[in-house]
Structure 1
Amino acid sequence: MVSWFECPWRLRRLADSLLLGGLLLLLVGLAGAYLFEARLALGMLVGAHALTVLGPALLKIGYVMRLLAQQKKESRCAHC
């Protein structure tokens, strides 16, 4: 598993997936928590508010992983 993170290209792909997933979670959470709040049950509303916290967390993790992949790509050879 550790060797999977050694390749900058794989790390970049994972980081891009986390960035996209975090953005989608944030947008779904914002829509549910603030646009459709009158139509949602209490449990769904709590879940939507939780997504507004989890989405940005994934965005931050993905961004840091992307920076790490870029740094590794510059310091290592061009292929894995």
Structure 2
Amino acid sequence: MLNIQVKTLKQFGCVKIYREKASGADSERLQLEKLIASLGEDDIVVVIRMDRFARSTFDLFSIVKDITNKTVWFR
């Protein structure tokens, strides 16, 4: 599953790919934190599967808010 997601991200032209294998119940998501901290203006965050990105709808809205507050695009 992870290999397919990475392959798809590369097809989109993604250069930096953050990978994290953590439980959905785990609140510490170091790779997600690194991703958000590394974002610069006009960067684009590409997500292949929302269910792999956020644990809940509330969590998804919170993450997307953090990303878009940095003047970054979310796909």
Q: TM-score range by the shorter chain?
A: under 0.3
Higher helix share: 1
Relative contact order higher in (CA < 8 Å, ≥ 6 apart): 1
Bigger-Rg structure (1/2): 1
Give the structure-2-normalised TM-score. Answer: 0.27
Relative to the length of structure 1, the TM-score reads 0.26
